[in-house]
Structure 1
């Protein structure tokens, strides 16, 4: 596939390495420009690109940037894209500022979809970078970590779930995008390195009445690292 990754931080760079090893053509971009991506390109095999070029990838686009940076994306390109677009980000108010739509009930990724004018699939957000880098194992392994994939289009979800499996993790269907709050910061399914059955259980343990409280706790814990 032709894949664009917007965001060259830990998650974006790790995914770039996996996907190039699988034989995909990967362009990686950040807000500082392709000239700053020499080291990332050498490490991952991905091609440095502008954000606009990565946004034109024909098959898959992964957005792995802070929520506040979504407003600077080339919406005129992304909104008309025929690619599957994956949102791998998470909303932290202390970093991203207060977003009224999210406070009023939209999930992180429903807000992202609204901003870019394109459907998204939520994936790769509920695992910390060290685990993503180190815990990929073959399908037959008994200790495989599972990742949740949420979205409204079943075909798009299947494409992403297959990639998750090929990278080295079990993929489970996290339901509609409106349900993706269950894999957001502060929830039982967030960054716990759970296997398939435990992740399914954790997603169901989430209590929507505690969503705002859980996010506030997670935000406070994350503040020193953001």
Structure 2
């Protein structure tokens, strides 16, 4: 995809819910890609206004509901144990990128995510029935995401996966992946995102497009 095509496919306005390390990293990359970025935490935006100016220059802080209202895309980067506090009605009608992970040794056992018959993003989708959930950016470290991007055509360019049930939503997130400096490997079901999770071979791995796709295919056959 050419640079002009990537730019034209990018969402204009993006809301990032969660200003931890992952959320702030993605917000910085979004600003660098030319998106209008609004960040929100769980309460009054005044509490994070100065932090936003320092760690995400170019973004603005707002109430979550106001940030989401006019957004073309929403990035969900809240701590997983607070996920159920997110109002499903607020996200209805929006494309939501789930960048969260369920990792019991780190997060503790959370019964909601213990269903082994579906991935964590499928659980997120079930909680947000009015949204279109896409899984991406969860299988690379936040510090690596900002550091390892490279130009299109670089033979060593790393691949990142994006999975979702809606082809248009997947394409939008794939354009972001490309703008961030990675080759997007698309999967046409949210269920395929199970293979991005902790414990699967692409998690934390640096792979090119071909190796990533082959590794995911093998992992899904084993599920």
Could you say which TM-score interval applies, normalised by the shorter chain? 0.7 to 0.9
Q: Which runs of structure 2 are paired with 1:114-193 in the superposition (5 Å)?
A: 114-117=126-129, 118-193=131-206
Secondary structure at the aligned position of 2:69 is classed as: coil
Answer yes or no: is 1:110 the counterpart of 2:122. yes
CA offset digits 1:96-131 (Å, max 9, x no partner): 533256424121111001112222000111101121
Secondary structure at the aligned position of 1:143 is classed as: coil
How many residue pairs get aligned? The number is 208
- Shift of residue 90 of structure 1? 0.7
CA offset digits 1:146-174 (Å, max 9, x no partner): 10000001111001101110111110013
State how far apart, in whole Å, the 1-side matches of 2:22 and 2:190 are.
21
Secondary structure at the aligned position of 2:14 is classed as: strand
Secondary structure at the aligned position of 1:103 is classed as: coil
Q: Is the 8 A contact 2:72 2:95 kept in 1?
A: yes
Q: Is the 8 A contact 2:113 2:120 kept in 1?
A: no
Answer yes or no: is 1:87 the counterpart of 2:104. no
Runs of 5+ consecutive residues of structure 2 not aligned to the other structure: 1-11
CA offset digits 1:77-98 (Å, max 9, x no partner): 112x3x3211011112341533
Q: Is the 8 A contact 1:5 1:28 kept in 2?
A: yes
Residue of structure 1 aligned with 2:219, choices 203, 206, 216: 206
Runs of 5+ consecutive residues of structure 1 not aligned to the other structure: 212-226
Large movers: runs of 4+ above 6 Å: none
Q: Which residue of the partner structure matches residue 76 of structure 1?
A: 89
Q: Which residue of the partner structure matches residue 14 of structure 1?
A: 25
Calculate the aligned-residue CA RMSD, in Å.
Answer: 1.9
Residue of structure 2 aligned with 1:63, choices 65, 76, 86: 76
